[in-house]
Amino acid sequence: MKTKLSKKRAISTVLTTVIILVSSVVLGSGVVLYGTSLFQGASLTEEISIAGTKLWVHDTDSIGIAWGATTVRNSGDKVLSVDRITVRGVEIPSSQWYVDTTLSNEAYSAALNHTSWANNPPSSGGPSLLKLGECAGAGIPGQSYLCIDQDSWGAGLSVITANASTGSVGLNTGDTAVIYFKVNNGTLTSLDAGSTTTVGIFAGVAGGPLSITVIGQS
């Protein structure tokens, strides 16, 4: 009895070699693209530059009224949001921030000013910063916004119109913001005038604490 031999077609050696080569190229390309995307993502930096930070405390008030101001610039490669400000470890609610992102570069580089206290002597709520120039008669000082004329020349690029914040302050790469903030009552007192304390300004993982001298202001 003769045994029948079945003829099975196998993939030729040449075709097998081609498939292996193509697979290697595809896999290699995928690894390269994945590695490149990881490198690009890792190379983007989160960084903010902080300048001109000030702290003012009412130098005779027993309630402990204090305000601060700072400029923050997104100097990294990612969109960031300033989401936390602390004074002496105490977090300042964003509802007590007053933010202006519309000034010119020249105005941002100017020193942030204290314009004297409104509601002086302090009422039960304590004084706020006094508005100057074209903003003096607009609204209740410090309640919904601040408007500060840094050079006392009236309308112009040096006027800070700082709206009360409703949350974190978003900054695209290269953007800058001026932020005035009302320190929680009692965090600083008149006894702290002339001393050094910490102000923390953070945008996610960027930022950190600064050592700032408290200025007594009558």
Which of 34, 51, 70, 78 has its CA nearest to residue 171? 78
Residue 56: pLDDT band by 50, 70, 90 thresholds? very high
pLDDT of residue 75: 92
The rounded distance, in Å, linking the Cα atoms of 65 and 120 is 11
Instruction: Give pLDDT tens digits for 135-151.
Output: 655 554 445 677 777 76
Give the dihedral sign, CA 143/145/148/153. Answer: negative
d(Cα 141, Cα 119) in Å, to the nearest integer?
9
**Which residue(s) pair with 181 in the sheet?**
68, 97
The pair of structure tokens assigned to 159 is 């006027």
In percent, how much of the chain has pLDDT > 90? 39
Residue 39 confidence class, pLDDT cut points 50, 70, 90: very low
Residue of 72, 89, 58 lying closest to 179 (CA atoms):
72
Determine which of 101-110, 161-170, 192-201, 207-216 has the lowest per-residue pLDDT on average.
101-110
> What are the Cα distances from residue 117, in Å, to 124, 146, 158, 183?
14, 12, 20, 14
Q: What is the pLDDT of residues 3-17, one digit of tens each?
A: 554 445 555 665 556
pLDDT of residue 115: 81
Inform me whether the pLDDT recorded for 82 exceeds 70: yes
Q: Which of 32-41, 49-58, 72-81, 180-189 has the lowest mean pLDDT?
A: 32-41
